[in-house]
Chains A and B, each alone.
Chain A
Amino acid sequence: MADENWKPKIVAIICNWCSYAGADLAGSARTQYPPDIRAIRVMCTGRIDPLFIMKAFQDGADGVLVSGCHFGDCHYLEGNYKAAKRMFLLKSVLKNIGLEDKRLRMTFVSASEGAKWATVMEDVVKTVTELGPSPLGESAR
């Protein structure tokens, strides 16, 4: 790893009804977690166009997290199933272009799982930190 003070840049695209609410709950409970992730709110993970994720990596993101409701709990019935399928495909695309597929992660965090959200944050930051800077990072800037 280049520099031990290096901090990853991670984008989280999360659904309004479950994961965003879960993240808020972690806040109300003052559960502390690493500050390296920036969240973008969409109504449902079904909204997430693979383009958004490719754009994030192209812009130099070191990791992308997609987080939605548990299967069966999506506010719009099945958006998360569609998203999960897309993420699955996208992971193989990432491999093909030479990015570690672990840089993309999909999780399911419900509105009552504040503690789980914090664990996911820790986990994602740890995984991406171990992977180090994205090889696309330099060219982006």
Chain B
Amino acid sequence: MAELKKKEEPKIGVFVCHCGTNIAGSIDIKAVMEYAKTLPNVAIADDYQYMCSTPGQNKVVEAIEEHKLTGVVVAACSPRLHEPTFRGATKLGGLNPFRFEMANIREQNSWVHMHQPEEATEKAKDAVRIAVAKASLLEDLIPKSVPVEQAAMVVGGGVGGMQAALDLANAGIKTYLIEKEPSIGGRMSQLDKTFPTLDCSQCILTPKMVDVARNENIELLTYTEVEAVEGYIGNFDVTLRKKARGVLTTEEAEARGFVGGGCNGCGDCEDVCPVIRPNPFELGMAPMKAIYVYHPQVSPLLYTIDFDSCVKCNLCVDICGDKKAIDLNAVDEFETVKVGSIILATGYDIFPIEEKHEWGYKNYDNVITSLEFERLICASGPTGGHLIRPSDGAVPKKIAFVLCAGSRDNTGVGKPYCSRFCCMYSLKHAHQIIEKIPGAVPYIFYMDIRSFGKMYEEFYYRIQDEGAKFIRGRVANILEDPVTKNLHVNAEDTLLGRPIDMEVDMVVLAAAVQPSAQTEATRRLFGVSCSQDGWLLEAHPKLNPCGTTTAGVYLAGVCQGPKDIPDTVAQAEGAASAASIPIHRGEVELEPYFAVCLEDICAGCGMCINLCPYQALSLIEKDGRTVMHVTEAKCKGCGTCGGFCPGGAIWMQHFTTPQIVAQIDAFLLGGEQ
């Protein structure tokens, strides 16, 4: 490498940040700064209250000019936070931005050794020495710019995914909306009303579904899953599995030469289908045929065959007749699309609350979940909106609601977090039964009512005024009267300090939510991390709640953590805006951390070729010798090849072997070496 041979005298500037008292509270800043001055190659050392502020950054800029620095070290917070900031300052001072190195003396020092100031100060000195050693060997690097594919993808067609897709499409971006179910709409399409406004969920959702279906920039792919993902920001290749639907759209029928054919949603096939199975949309509370649509509002209005239960009797094919919309031999198809950025909006499932045996869900007929309540109270649900007891069809009058069912639960069975929207929908449920069933009384067993949103607290008061009864206490167990099928709710009223045994007609469990079943597989495909409870991990909890650590992949809705509809939609709009940035810019800069072959040393053994997970390496003939060659556009800079090369012939830019060895030496052998 040219840079290797060009010997320059390193001149490093070291800047130590107080970060108010965040760092200065446990580290002796002056001592670290004075120590830095004694290190080899250090031309200037300084300190400042807040290095990231404008005056702090100006210190860097001015020192570069004044001292003709070749490298900059800032000892402050984590490089994951402010490396970009100080690279900017380094560049402003006239140096290549990659001449900057950060010493983390906050997250990995002052904050974790708060009561050991001496040790923390020694550790900070070491960190500065290590950083100076690396900075002395840093080289100029030029990031490569790559063009960005002018399309985006949204995975998940619930309200968040739909909103994100609409925003992207309306900003002029071609957007693929991927939904695993046969229809978009997600959880929201299963709800009856929404709190606190009591809007009918379908009435506000259906127009959005129509907008999505009609939008010219949206390519809606329902009954489709992500199979594989390759590439990086700006250039993702996503392979999709279009599950065999067994029913052709009008376009697909036309492509097969049946002009005027294809599914028109008439439903004749459903009438003749002999197979009856539980309806998953109605949570098993209604029957469904093997050829089906979920509900009348589905989008697209297109039948789907469940091949797991289909007996291939051909009755549907016969009745469909000349439309020739049904193909019982359909197989999954695969398609690869190219997109520049991706939004994940994969939503949530309900925690299997039967695991909390003490409440008897699935053992006692009249213990149901809140989502089942939604379907039972919904006019388009299995009972036409008449709330009845599953055991005998009677109208319940005394209904207990158990809040935090499986949420805020540290027993090991359940979730430690608050599921966030259960309090509010349970208040709504209380309102609904008071409104619909004369004389009915809801009893709400709660730990705290969390009515945090706009007009939520007011809604809470309103429900109290309407006559709902609130009992503060966690329900210990529920027992069924085997004759009447009534339920005995045993709890402690913690306000009155006495035990309660209340007989009710029905119990509704506000079950916790958890990441949807396919979240784990999806996040691995996209290289996104998750937090301990499985929710997808945002790039920064405060400052980048829509981003992920994988550039070009963003998050929307409950997949990132429990949130209600307004928050989901707001985050979706944020994610859409973030995802549109690289596309509108047209090109992205990739960090120039790629591998370079030192051809003089390379023996052409080819051991590295198979180590590369991205097929970026190959062997070529050059000047009569076999040497390794790196395709820069494919290299992502992990360094797995460089960690192995037996001859040390791979130069991992910004993480070179001399740089890392210098860091190790600096720590263990001191700065005087």
Which A residues are closer than 8 A to B by beta carbons?
A: 9, 11, 13, 16-18, 20-21, 23-24, 26-28, 30-33, 35, 38-44, 46-49, 51-52, 55-56, 59-61, 72-73, 75-79, 82-83, 86, 110-113, 118, 140-141
Closest 10 CB pairs of A and B: A27-B107, A47-B639, A46-B640, A76-B638, A59-B668, A112-B531, A27-B111, A44-B638, A35-B119, A24-B107
| Among B78, B126, B529, B639, contact of A38 (Cβ-Cβ < 8 Å) | B126
| Among B106, B111, B655, contact of A42 (Cβ-Cβ < 8 Å) | B655
| Among A9, A13, A73, contact of B524 (Cβ-Cβ < 8 Å) | A73
Closest chain A residue, CB of each to CB of B665: A59
What are 17 contact pairs spanning A and B, CB under 8 A? A20-B80, A24-B80, A27-B106, A27-B111, A32-B113, A32-B115, A35-B109, A35-B122, A38-B123, A38-B130, A44-B640, A47-B639, A49-B660, A59-B668, A79-B613, A140-B668, A140-B669
Closest chain B residue, CB of each to CB of A30: B111
**Is A43's CB under 8 angstroms from B664's CB?**
no
| Among B109, B113, B119, B640, contact of A82 (Cβ-Cβ < 8 Å) | B640
Q: Which B residues, 115 to 154, have Cβ-Cβ distances below 8 Å to chain A?
A: 115-116, 119-120, 122-123, 126-127, 130
| Among B119, B549, B668, contact of A21 (Cβ-Cβ < 8 Å) | B549
Which residues does chain B contribute within 8 Å of A56, judged by CB atoms? 664, 668
**Is B661's CB under 8 angstroms from A52's CB?**
yes
| Among B524, B529, B611, B648, contact of A18 (Cβ-Cβ < 8 Å) | B529
Given contacts A38-B126, A52-B657, A112-B529, 14 further A-B contacts (CB under 8 A): A24-B78, A24-B81, A26-B107, A32-B115, A38-B127, A40-B667, A43-B655, A52-B660, A52-B661, A59-B665, A59-B667, A79-B640, A82-B611, A86-B644
- Measured in the bound complex, the distance between the Cα atoms of B531 and A76 in whole Å is 19
- Measured in the bound complex, the distance between the Cα atoms of B110 and A30 in whole Å is 9
Which B residues are closer than 8 A to A by beta carbons?
A: 78-81, 104, 106-109, 111-116, 119-120, 122-123, 126-127, 130, 524, 527, 529-532, 537, 549-550, 593, 611, 613-614, 636-640, 642-645, 648, 652, 655, 657, 660-661, 663-665, 667-669
Looking at the assembled complex, report how far the CB atom of B522 sits from the nearest CB atom of chain A, in whole angstroms.
13
Looking at the assembled complex, report how far the CB atom of B527 sits from the nearest CB atom of chain A, in whole angstroms.
6
| Among B80, B530, B643, B663, contact of A86 (Cβ-Cβ < 8 Å) | B643
**Is A43's CB under 8 angstroms from B593's CB?**
yes
**Is A75's CB under 8 angstroms from B668's CB?**
no
Given contacts A31-B112, A59-B664, are A75 and B530 in contact (CB under 8 A)?
no
**Is B667's CB under 8 angstroms from A43's CB?**
no
- Measured in the bound complex, the distance between the Cα atoms of B549 and A9 in whole Å is 31
Closest chain B residue, CB of each to CB of A15: B638
Which residues does chain B contribute within 8 Å of A59, judged by CB atoms? 664-665, 667-669
**Is B107's CB under 8 angstroms from A49's CB?**
no
Looking at the assembled complex, report how far the CB atom of A93 sits from the nearest CB atom of chain B, in whole angstroms.
15
Which residues does chain B contribute within 8 Å of A30, judged by CB atoms? 111-112, 114
| Among A23, A24, A35, A44, contact of B123 (Cβ-Cβ < 8 Å) | A35
| Among A9, A23, A83, contact of B668 (Cβ-Cβ < 8 Å) | A9
